[in-house]
Structure 1
């Protein structure tokens, strides 16, 4: 076994892994982050940057409460990360829309939000706005929009700047990030864990948090976890910069602080194929123009596909290994939204303190009877 270089090793250097590392460092642990290769699937480099509550946990109360607490914690978390890194995250939580062009989809989503409100009570509010009423306040919205929902709690950050800031925050707190450290094998026991890297090097730690997203499958099995994540492809369009600010933020159209637009919101089961597809790109462009016809002549400058990390039921997983004490699994597809929780109270659960949150609803034992797990 190699010499131990940290109390806890976090496998995965994306938004989730880095946020977890920050929480553990703030709790007084020595932490090393093993980050994979640039060619590995990386949700953190292709996400939309949303800090979003609408619809999250509408069918699962624990997820609704977790998301609500994380969204509320974003101002304090952003201030912490900006102070540690010197990077402006451009957090904006002035509210967000969900636009609909189909009546049935509009009604169904509004019903979901009513259920979410029942779960959250005074911690969540939203408006349901018919298309004509929407156009009275925003005349530029297209006639093809039948309605929208709005929540004043939703917002966004600059996602690539967030990733940079989290890395710098880990370093500022005394953590170590090992780049191009693709873990090929892991073994563990009462004396700790040993990680074999593709380079031939070894790394040791007393405990391990597996937060490698889609790269966690093989290692999860070896650490005694049963959860099997799957990829879900989302595609994005990036436009030229606009001289004026958009009058709204939505889950499918957002303007970055630099001025360009991100247009997205697609979901596809395409395995590990993260390439963009022409028909989907055309559909994204059509959606954007339907919502805001003035975008018709805007030029697209980039397009890409990225892979989300999905658990069998789409909700986060926080699990302790039943066979290797000291091993933890952390996986979710809302890494940006949940970052304040991962960088805060989750460390208490990992350290098993008296004030640790109860995360039983997110344990992987909920998949025991499901063949999808």
Structure 2
């Protein structure tokens, strides 16, 4: 059976788009890599977050705001379709500042962001709170913390359950998913596009590249940007603990099962997704500074994962001019943007208006001459 769309990449980004297209009645095939691939979807903190997004590109902050506003309905819909609880909460979040200089810089960035966008000036809610003012949100916060920015928009989910639910819902809608079938080459066919794999050739009328770091080699063959690079993050996980009563932060958050995820590292380490003792020690020391009650807590797991980063850190959404019907979707914020990818972005792809509606996110911005 001929498919309408071929999606390259079965992480949260690719599966959210697949789900959105299938929900609109399209025939979709997804080609994914093996479980030991560089999976940002399985190695993240599960935050649904507006803070920090769009510095230098307000449109990204606006998309993030749209996405978190759609997350409750998105999570509810997936749970109703699959019975999988995504453990989504939106009670607000805090991004900590460790000294006065960081606090001043953060507030200046947010002020400038709102000055650049009338919509964000009206709708992006945040406040800087001192360490003492944060205590109702972060009980027993370490005394050496200066404070942090609080926003009611932020929340968190279980990213593994999100991915599982997207797979289950997509399959129920007829999406064909081929695991351990990475695309080796992409090409234009007479009546669509072709992906060559070790298990055979797959064709569809249109193609969406959502391959994360795999886009470096695949996207340019269809006239799209491969301007993505790896940025490693390392995370420590504690034993299960009684509820701390904390709002999530990028530095530390407690999951629904009780374990605490610790880590907010940004390392240029190539394609090495391993963990290092020095960084684990640094993460652990920082966690105790943030929450001294964790000092005697046992650590049960550590992992490293590679974020997918564009040169400016903002999403990459583009349609190919040389190969009409080919699209490139890439970002490092697939959890936050999942509700947007499954709705407005999928609709823009379906209507072949991705290039017009999201022109600011095209890879062309990386090649503008001085």
TM-score by length of 2: 0.95
**Are the equivalent residues in 2 in contact too, given 1:346–1:356 (CA < 8 A)?**
no
**For residue 177 of structure 1, what is the aligned residue in structure 2?**
177
**Are the equivalent residues in 2 in contact too, given 1:43–1:308 (CA < 8 A)?**
yes
**Are the equivalent residues in 2 in contact too, given 1:14–1:42 (CA < 8 A)?**
yes
**For residue 270 of structure 2, what is the aligned residue in structure 1?**
271
**Are the equivalent residues in 2 in contact too, given 1:348–1:357 (CA < 8 A)?**
no
TM-score by length of 1: 0.94
The 2-side partners of 1:244 and 1:364 are apart by: 44
**For residue 151 of structure 2, what is the aligned residue in structure 1?**
151
Identify if the C-alpha distance between structure 1 residues 138 and 167 changes in structure 2 by more than 3 Å, giving closer, same or farther: closer
Q: Report SS of the residue matched to 1:122.
A: helix
The 1-side partners of 2:227 and 2:137 are apart by: 46
The 2-side partners of 1:173 and 1:79 are apart by: 17
**Are the equivalent residues in 1 in contact too, given 2:218–2:226 (CA < 8 A)?**
no
Is 1:128 aligned to 2:125, yes or no? Answer: no
**For residue 287 of structure 2, what is the aligned residue in structure 1?**
288
Per-residue deviation, 1:224: 1.2
Number of residue-to-residue matches in the alignment: 367
Q: Report SS of the residue matched to 1:262.
A: strand
**For residue 6 of structure 2, what is the aligned residue in structure 1?**
9
- Greater mean deviation of Cα atoms: 92-101 or 186-195: 186-195
The 2-side partners of 1:355 and 1:9 are apart by: 16
Identify if the C-alpha distance between structure 1 residues 354 and 243 changes in structure 2 by more than 3 Å, giving closer, same or farther: closer
The 1-side partners of 2:78 and 2:259 are apart by: 24
Identify if the C-alpha distance between structure 1 residues 370 and 354 changes in structure 2 by more than 3 Å, giving closer, same or farther: closer
Identify if the C-alpha distance between structure 1 residues 36 and 54 changes in structure 2 by more than 3 Å, giving closer, same or farther: same
The 2-side partners of 1:210 and 1:137 are apart by: 40
**For residue 93 of structure 2, what is the aligned residue in structure 1?**
96
The 1-side partners of 2:300 and 2:11 are apart by: 25
Identify if the C-alpha distance between structure 1 residues 187 and 136 changes in structure 2 by more than 3 Å, giving closer, same or farther: closer
Identify if the C-alpha distance between structure 1 residues 136 and 217 changes in structure 2 by more than 3 Å, giving closer, same or farther: closer
**Are the equivalent residues in 2 in contact too, given 1:230–1:310 (CA < 8 A)?**
yes
The 2-side partners of 1:196 and 1:190 are apart by: 15
Per-residue deviation, 1:259: 0.6
The 1-side partners of 2:273 and 2:283 are apart by: 16
Identify if the C-alpha distance between structure 1 residues 249 and 217 changes in structure 2 by more than 3 Å, giving closer, same or farther: same
Per-residue deviation, 1:66: 0.8
Per-residue deviation, 1:279: 1.3
Q: State how 1:254-333 maps to structure 2 within 5 Å.
A: 254-333=253-332
Unpaired runs of 5+ in structure 2?
Answer: none
**For residue 50 of structure 2, what is the aligned residue in structure 1?**
53
